Amino acid sequence: MNCTNAFKIISLVIDGEASEYQKRLLDFHLLGCSSCRKAISMCRDISEIAGKLPAPVPPENLESNIREMLKTKADISHQEHRFRNAFLAFPAVAALLIFALTVLPLSTEQEFITETQDIAMSMHESKSADINLSQKSGIRTAPLSDYSRQASLISF
Amino acid sequence: MIDLCKGDEDAFSEVIRRFQAPIYSMLIRMLGNEEDAQEMLQLTFCRVYRYRDKFDTDRKLVNWIFTIASNLAKKEWRRRSRWINVPLEHVNLTSPGKTAPHYNAGRVELRASIEEAVDKLPPHYREPFILREQEQMSYEDIADILNIRLGTVKSRINRARTRLRELLDDVWDEWK
């Protein structure tokens, strides 16, 4: 048996819940383990002192306070008040979440679209200087690559 | 309890008298301050009174009341999401008018250290440990109160002791 298992039995021995077999196993382990001997001694002291810790004295007017609470139903309103707080807190959190999830991404997306549109327009304007003139029909057209780039940016 | 279920006011007074001290002691250790503990103590007995019809007579009355108090304390932890250590004002570190011998002085110091160390335990270890050590409850009763399995009670008490042993190692060596 290792010390971890021994300590489990030590806890049971202190609480008086260990079986005879467990006690024998522990005795055998304690013969050769000084750290577990220290542990059982320490746990006994802790248990003894913790059991005698001074108990705080309840308030003297407890019963009258309880009867007053029952009479005025303050205990129910106490719960309702907490429920109301939770009830009010939920929509507030939900509203914040909706705002965070919808408005903020939309605004950034809108900014992005306007930015891309500006870029597309500036590119178009810069290239409009070298507009091609169709040799057959005489119609002035921009190069095909400009159209395709513009379309892809807008669709994006 | 049967009288209480019938609406006997004297029976309710008797329940309050009998259980106020152990419940208050547990609550003050759980919640860490007198104000919250007193509030929860009052609410515990209010619930005992309001839900007296729902008491399962197969259960022990003490377990039922402790369960109510424990659940209220847990709700309070969740609501406030804070843990405050128990003030040591309940510990009489010095006995007025007496000069304690060295051994007793060391013991008082050890007691204060133990109390402080118990307050440092995580709530789920502290609660079964307090019920066991202070209220001297059986493992079965603790399992019933906290609505956990018997094996869980054993392991939590064991872990509480292991943690306390680690925390108090130096103090205990000095004291010895």
A83-108 confidence digits (pLDDT tens): 566 666 777 788 888 888 777 665 55
pLDDT at B149: 93
Q: Is the model's pLDDT at B147 over the cut of 80? A: yes
Contact A56 B24 (CB under 8 A): yes
pLDDT for residue A68 is more than 60:
yes
pLDDT confidence of residue B110: 76
Q: Checking phi first, is residue B97 left (phi over 0); if not, alpha (psi -120 to 50) or beta?
A: left
Q: What is the pLDDT of residue A133?
A: 52
Q: Are the beta carbons of A56 and B114 separated by less than 8 Å? A: no
With beta carbons under 8 A apart, name residues in chain B contacting A82: 79
Hey, how many other C-beta atoms are within 10 angstroms of the C-beta on A145?
9
Q: Which residue on chain B is closest to A75 by alpha carbon? A: B43
- B161, B163, B167: which to substitute to probe chain A, counting the most A Cβ within 10 Å? B161
Give the count of alpha carbons within 13 A of B23, CB side only.
32
Question: Which one of B46, B92, B133 has the shortest CB-CB distance to A54?
Answer: B92
* Of residues B44 and A68, more confidently modeled: B44
Residues of A engaging B, defined by a Cβ cutoff of 8 Å: 7-8, 10-12, 14-15, 17, 39, 42-43, 45-47, 49-59, 62-63, 65-66, 69-70, 75, 78, 82
- Of the candidates A12, A54, A66, the beta carbon closest to that of B42 is on A66
**What chain A residue is nearest to B37 in terms of C-alpha separation?**
A58
Residue showing tokens 């956990």? B148
- Per-residue pLDDT for B52 more than 90? no
Contact predicate B145/B70, CB 8 Å? yes
Model's pTM, two decimal places?
Answer: 0.65
Higher pLDDT, B144 or A151: B144
At residue B2, the pLDDT reads 62
Highest mean pLDDT, choosing among A97-101, A137-141, B96-100, B152-156: B152-156
Segment B117-122 mean pLDDT:
86
pLDDT band, very low/low/confident/very high, at A57 (cuts 50, 70, 90): confident
Q: Determine the residue of chain B that is closest to A6 in CA distance.
A: B158
More reliable by pLDDT, B24 or B89: B24
Q: How confident is the model at residue B26 (pLDDT cuts 50, 70, 90)?
A: confident
CA distance A106 to chain B (A): 35
Chain B residues with CB under 8 Å of A73 CB are none
A-chain residues near B155 (CB < 8 A): 8
* pLDDT reading at B1 higher than 50: yes
In this predicted model, what pLDDT tens digit does every residue of B58-110 receive, in sequence order? 888 888 999 999 998 888 877 766 545 444 444 443 333 333 444 455 666 77
Mutate to test the interface with A, among B44, B45, B107 (most CBs of A within 10 A): B45
Select from B79, B114, B139 the Cβ nearest to the Cβ of A49: B114
Task: Look at residue B152 and tell me whether its pLDDT is greater than 90.
Answer: yes
pLDDT over threshold 70, residue A124? no
Residue A75 reports pLDDT greater than 60: yes
* Cross-strand partners of A133: A140
User: Judged by CB atoms within 8 Å, which residues 81-100 of B form the interface with A?
Assistant: 90-92
Contact yes or no for B130/B24 (Cβ under 8 A): no
Lowest mean pLDDT among A60-69, A70-79, B37-46, B107-116: A70-79
Tell me what percent of the residues of chain A surpass a pLDDT of 90.
Answer: 0
- At residue A81, the pLDDT reads 59
Give the pLDDT score at B79: 75
| DSSP H or E stretch at residue B13 | helix B9-31
Buried b (16+ CB within 10 A) or exposed e, B101-126: eeeeeeebebbbbbbbbbbebeeebb
- Identify which of A12, A39, A75 has the shortest CB distance to residue B43: A75
Query: Band of the pLDDT at A66, cuts 50, 70, 90?
Result: confident
Across A60-67, average pLDDT: 83
